[in-house]
Amino acid sequence: MRKIHNPLANEKIFVDKLSNKTSLDCQFCSYKINTALDELNISLSNTYAYTFSNAFKIDKWHSIIAPKIHNPTELQYQHVKSMMVLSQQWFGNASNHEFTQLSDDQSKIETHYFYPIISWDSLSKGGASQLHPHLQCFLSQEHYYGKMYGFLQNIKRSSGVYNSHKYDYNNLDENIEELAQSYREYIEDLINVHYFFGLTIPCPGDVNGLHLNDKSCVILSYLNAIKEHHIFVIYQPYEMYNTLNNSVNSFDRFVKAIYAVIDTYRAPVIQNATNKNPSLNASTTSSHPKYAFSGSIMYPPIKYRLFKDRKILDFPTIAHFVSRAPYFDDVSDFSAIELFVINNVVHDPYTTIKDLKSKIPLIKF
């Protein structure tokens, strides 16, 4: 049995009260005196965000990016954009710092820190250690970390089998061009399947809607969800590192998509609220606002940008987001079923895409 959420409970009130209680002694708010520097020995910052080292690293390159606001309910597009831009600067600086240590020793290239990852949890119900919004940046060595590496291996295996009539799956790793093409075709068909089922929406910035020949930035409500309201954002142009050169038009669409997902979680548009009983309206439509969420972003390996003699593995940037349990719930949204047996998802993916389609036109970026 799943506990039924109280549709009349106002999660924002809970979060606002907790924010007021924790703001005075927040370590992230006073990061200049209460946090450490990473190996770069500087704290990157811009108008709305800043970086600092994680005190409990899981790898050499593991830092935090936080906005200059404490209350998660006050997070706006400019904060998300500033954090995303800083993440690109941090990944580039960290990788370049490592690269300068290699000198001319080409034998060490494959062990270089090339693989950029972001994880983002909101509120304790989402797994966050602090109420202050923050995301974690990792630059991993040799390959992506476990689950992300497994995700890519599954795609490679699936795309290799799927395209076995065109490519030699057993030798895909030896032919980087075929591997890249196999990846692209698999991702394109993944988008097309969701498109035909009505589960896609173009990233904000599109004028004419999503066309099958325009897959550069797509939001989809994932059919094989691992948790509630599982959303993919797939960004395909290999341009994210050009943000350092102010070529950000396409990247802006990706950032807007990330913000749109978060804003839809926390302030969904109530659909068809015709019943005079407000509890029935809330329980039968888009569901309650969701301030707790978990997400990750996997960027393409940096090494294909650094070495001109290597073919570009044009794998898209992929972001995953899921909503988590309300702050006022006294039960966990994970159990042995999710951990060891099967993904247990209650919400229909059509509810999620309906929420997004209703919300995005109302967002002020």
Instruction: Name the maximum alpha-carbon separation found in the chain.
Output: 73
Are the beta carbons of 264 and 321 closer than 8 angstroms? no
Q: Which CA distances in Å does 275 have to 285, 352, 355, 358, 359? A: 11, 21, 19, 20, 21
Give the pLDDT of residue 357: 93
pTM: 0.85
Count of all residues that appear for the chain in the document: 365
**Token output for 329:** 């719930």
**CA angle, 275 then 276 then 278, to 5°:** 85
Q: How far apart are CA 75 and CA 290, in angstroms?
A: 13
- Write down the residue that tokens 């990330």 correspond to: 258
CB 148 within 8 A of CB 298: yes
Contact 133, 72 (CB under 8 A): yes
pLDDT in tens, the chain (365 residues): 455 555 556 888 989 999 999 999 999 999 888 888 888 888 999 999 999 998 888 888 999 999 999 999 999 999 999 999 999 999 988 888 777 666 555 555 555 777 899 999 999 999 999 999 999 999 988 778 888 778 777 777 776 666 666 656 555 555 656 666 777 778 888 899 999 999 999 888 754 444 444 567 899 999 999 999 999 999 876 544 444 333 445 788 899 999 999 999 998 887 554 444 443 333 334 567 899 999 999 988 776 554 444 444 557 889 999 999 887 777 888 889 888 898 889 889 999 999 999 999 999 88
Mapped onto helix, strand or coil, the DSSP state of residue 318 is strand
Give the strand pairing for 317-323 and 293-298: antiparallel
Residue 63: φ, ψ to 5°: -130, 175
